[in-house]
Chain A
Amino acid sequence: MKNALGATREEIFQKNLAEYGQYHFMAKKYSKGSTYRNLSQLGVLMSLKTFPGGVHPHDFKHFSKTAAIDKLPPPEKVIIPMSQHIGSPSSPCVKVGDEVLVGQLIAEASGFVSIPQHASISGKVTKIDLFAHPVGTKQMAIEITGDGLDKWIELVDDENYLDLTPDEMKKRIADAGVCGMGGAGFPTHVKLSPPKDKVIDTVILNGVECEPYLTSDYRLMIERPEEILRGLENVMKVVGASKGIIGIESNKPDAIALLQKHTASKANIEVVGLKMQYPQGAEKQLIYAATKRKVPNKGGLPMAVGVVVQNVGTAVAVYEAVRYKKPLLERVITVTGSIVKRPANFLARVGTPYSVLVDNCDGVNTEIGKIISGGPMMGFSLPNLDAPMTKGSSGIVLMNRTEAKQLQEHTCLRCAKCVDVCPLNLLPSLIVSAVKVEDLEMANKAGMTDCMKCGSCAYVCPAQIRLVQWIDTGKIKWAALQRAKK
């Protein structure tokens, strides 16, 4: 398989290896050097910042953490969903049969809280229809069949990009279709447009990657630190923040060290090592750990406490959008799991079917029990590998049958382990028992609508109650009730 640049995948792999060899080596040392890690964790344990609650799942990152980012050639076909973000779906502006270039606009934003979509390969639009989506449902998408030429639209190189006004920057970000790449997918230009009366003083870059298994952000941090920093500076400029913080979990000491080295001369940017604890990367938890500020509940936003949070991947996308006017059409995605033959971190085009990604890992060595799109704590399990990767796809985790074994639900013991780990200080067991008897008022008092579905409670429950599922059921019922009242 050759990519557009005429190199085989193996060659690129070797090139990556040569280029990033030293980080490669570092990562290896840390991954097996538990002594080093334990010592370093012991030494800084007390000084490491964190949040109350949470759990400590094994991180399973060793499968893919040493695999340098592998740039995949453009696939034969991509499926680009119109909904890759929070907000209204993009509206297609091409027809079946149209020829498109890489980076060409194929769907426009349908409002302020929306983003445009761009072709990620060059070729022909072959279908506009419902396709499998990585959240498990079928959604509207544009299928492009490639011509194998990888012809791009023209990009610019604006060396003085930092002289642009915040509004110009924001426009480039919006035009490039950038949205949060850590999971939720909130349109970035919206996040960067706080109301006039809100002063934003701090931008936090989320390099926590607290989901077990995933290593895409980690690889990005150790391979492209400069771009991340430029993205951060961009974001700071847009919102007028004076301080930048990069939060990284302590299980990535090399990433912390590297970014610290790169920011040594920058007084306004701080790299903060955070305790390895799930969900350290949840927005509110990260803000609390890094700044001790508490984002108000019931729909409170980070801007309420003067903070904007961006994922490290998003920062790179922002940088590329502002400097090169490059649309967000590729990202780093981890394909991993104990059964994956060659776990990898791919730089792949948005819309690449999951099956193509898995094939590029040489497949699996035993029967698949579960396919998870995203991380194992908050990701979606899928019935097959048909879905395409989106701008928010951070990984694919494949589990074998044993790992995927469904556990039997028991009666709640009232052991309160769920209460102890809930990072939002809710009463998960009480919510669930209230939902079971349809007492939604009670469920709400116990915090139902605040729940962010992090899954910590269900992770520890010795009765193996699927708490998140029950809480979700309650939320849906509650929303229906609210609608009926209106």
Chain B
Amino acid sequence: MNDKLLVSPAPHLHDRTNVSMVMWNVILALTPALVMATYFWGIKALMLTLLGAVTAVVTEAAVQKFRKVPISVADGSAFLTGMLLSFNIHANSPWWLPVVGSVFAIVVGKQVFGGLGNNPVNPALLGRAFLLASWPTLVTNGWIPTRSGSINGINPDLIGTNLQTIAPKAYELITSATPLKVAQTIRDTSFVSSLTGSATENATLASNIFNSLFDMGTLKAMFWGNIGGCIGEVSVFALLLGAAYLLYKNIIEWRIPLFYIGTVFALSFLFGGITGSRYSVMLPFFHIFGGGLMLGAFFMATDYTTSPITKRGRIIFAIGCGVLTIVIRLVGGYPEGVSYSILFMNVMTPLIDRLTMPKAFGEVKK
């Protein structure tokens, strides 16, 4: 009997979580968002997502075989990377876009550094950045309306029945761009002044469009995800459902999402106003619902490997993400800022960790 007895150092208990349990649980938590996307855009959204995920798995297996290391795709981490990448493109993308993105994400974003746990930045976001740099028009244009409405959830009738005739540019804007794009464009004075012949009319129109973003109907559309956007980011409802599950399961921690979303909320409340428009308290909701923030804050900024391990570090990281997101959205010329902010803060993570080493319990102040 003696040789069968295990002699090992304490602790002799483990909570029996493991890597694959964590990863597959995150995938499970992302499933509601996928279901919503499939409902709004049809089977194409589902196919693109699966294509990205399967490509990632195959790529990882191939690279691991080539590197002669154990093949670990069953842990779900490659699947998750591919899924997140596909969640960051829109449903009208060509089939090869998630494939190329996933290959890049896995090879350059992850395996080059030695695989899971060693990558400096979030592979899925790196993959997306690569796609955006290589095929900018494919990634940012060509949004398709969801099954049941316009792209940004704004009903053109709210602004004026004959908007199409009086201001074709405005009409195009609100029917073909995502909510964040509308908000950004409408802040641009040169765009506003080119809408119609008269300056006062322009201002009123701009203000109307802006206000219509905060119409209850628009907010509802954003909450359920009935708006234009990337596959995985649109349904706030589905993402919150998944996030609640992960928080309950103790898989993600509250600090990063709370401080990230909180920062965006506060800053957009303070600085998000628009010239010539009535100030709206709805604006912060619009900023946190209308783009990739929910997906980013709960599922990408919380990525284990690329966020700080110290508690204070996580707060700094999240606030950094929030500030950058708002700066990009309000000051920069780009409607969406979530992925770049997270990528940038990923790079800062080692530094943040080093600067926020915690004090041990009972450490005497010097």
Interface residues of A (CB under 8 A from B): 52, 55, 57, 136, 212, 284, 288, 294-298, 300, 367-372, 376-384, 397, 399, 401, 404, 406-407, 410-417, 419-420, 423-427, 429-430, 445-447, 450, 453, 455, 458-464, 466, 468-469, 472
Cβ–Cβ contact B117 & A383, under 8 A: no
Residue of A nearest to B77 (CB): A413
Cβ–Cβ contact B361 & A424, under 8 A: yes
Q: CA of A352 to CA of B90 in the docked complex: distance in angstroms?
A: 72
User: Would you mind naming 6 contact pairs between A and B with Cβ atoms under 8 Å apart?
Assistant: A212-B13, A376-B10, A382-B7, A407-B14, A413-B116, A458-B11
Q: CA of A425 to CA of B359 in the docked complex: distance in angstroms?
A: 7
Q: With an 8 A cutoff between CB atoms, is B1 at the interface?
A: yes
Contact with A along B349-366 (1 / 0, CB 8 A): 000010001111111100
Tell me whether A416 and B5 are in contact in the complex, defined as CB-CB below 8 angstroms, given that A377-B13, A464-B18, A468-B11 are known contacts: no
Q: CA of A469 to CA of B357 in the docked complex: distance in angstroms?
A: 22
Cβ–Cβ contact A425 & B358, under 8 A: yes
Q: Which of B27-35, B157-165, B302-310 contacts A (4 or more CB under 8 A)?
A: B302-310
Cβ–Cβ contact A411 & B115, under 8 A: yes
Residue of A nearest to B359 (CB): A425
Cβ–Cβ contact B12 & A284, under 8 A: no
Contacts beyond the supplied A52-B361, A384-B2, A419-B309: 14 A-B pairs with Cβ under 8 Å: A57-B15, A297-B364, A380-B10, A382-B7, A397-B12, A410-B117, A414-B305, A416-B314, A425-B359, A427-B357, A450-B360, A458-B14, A461-B14, A469-B9
Cβ–Cβ contact B358 & A427, under 8 A: yes
For A411, list chain B residues within 8 Å (CB).
Answer: 115-118
Interface set, chain B 300-334, CB cutoff 8 A to A: 304-311, 314
Q: With an 8 A cutoff between CB atoms, is B347 at the interface?
A: no
For B117, list chain A residues within 8 Å (CB).
Answer: 410-414, 463
Q: With an 8 A cutoff between CB atoms, is B216 at the interface?
A: no
For A383, list chain B residues within 8 Å (CB).
Answer: 2, 5, 7
Q: With an 8 A cutoff between CB atoms, is B17 at the interface?
A: yes
Cβ–Cβ contact B118 & A378, under 8 A: no
Cβ–Cβ contact A453 & B15, under 8 A: no
For B304, list chain A residues within 8 Å (CB).
Answer: 413-416
Cβ–Cβ contact B19 & A404, under 8 A: no
Cβ–Cβ contact A425 & B15, under 8 A: no
Partner of B13, one of A376, A429, A446: A376
Q: CA of A413 to CA of B116 in the docked complex: distance in angstroms?
A: 7
Residue of B nearest to A404 (CB): B6
For B250, list chain A residues within 8 Å (CB).
Answer: 417
For A417, list chain B residues within 8 Å (CB).
Answer: 250
For B274, list chain A residues within 8 Å (CB).
Answer: none
Q: Name the residue among A426, A446, A459, A469 with the largest chain B CB count within 10 angstroms.
A: A459
Tell me whether A430 and B309 are in contact in the complex, defined as CB-CB below 8 angstroms, given that A381-B6, A401-B4, A462-B22 are known contacts: yes
Partner of A416, one of B14, B15, B309, B363: B309
Residue of B nearest to A426 (CB): B360
For A466, list chain B residues within 8 Å (CB).
Answer: 8-9
Cβ–Cβ contact A462 & B362, under 8 A: no
Cβ–Cβ contact A295 & B6, under 8 A: no
Cβ–Cβ contact B362 & A370, under 8 A: no
Cβ–Cβ contact A468 & B10, under 8 A: yes
For B18, list chain A residues within 8 Å (CB).
Answer: 407, 410, 462-464
- Which 4 residue pairs are nearest across A and B when measured between Cβ atoms? A455-B11, A415-B304, A416-B309, A411-B117
Q: With an 8 A cutoff between CB atoms, is B21 at the interface?
A: yes
Tell me whether A468 and B357 are in contact in the complex, defined as CB-CB below 8 angstroms, given that A295-B362, A462-B22 are known contacts: no
Cβ–Cβ contact B309 & A384, under 8 A: no
Q: With an 8 A cutoff between CB atoms, is B253 at the interface?
A: yes
Contact with A along B92-136 (1 / 0, CB 8 A): 000000000000000000000001111000000000000000000
Cβ–Cβ contact B311 & A460, under 8 A: no
Partner of B12, one of A55, A136, A404: A404
**Least distance between B88 CB and chain A CB atoms (Å):** 22
Cβ–Cβ contact A419 & B311, under 8 A: yes
Q: Name the residue among B13, B118, B314 with the largest chain A CB count within 10 angstroms.
A: B13
Cβ–Cβ contact B5 & A384, under 8 A: yes
**Least distance between A177 CB and chain B CB atoms (Å):** 27
For B21, list chain A residues within 8 Å (CB).
Answer: 462
Interface set, chain B 1-60, CB cutoff 8 A to A: 1-2, 4-15, 17-19, 21-22
Cβ–Cβ contact B10 & A377, under 8 A: yes
Partner of B362, one of A55, A294, A459, A461: A294
Cβ–Cβ contact B12 & A463, under 8 A: no
Residue of A nearest to B8 (CB): A381
Q: CA of A458 to CA of B360 in the docked complex: distance in angstroms?
A: 18
Residue of B nearest to A379 (CB): B10
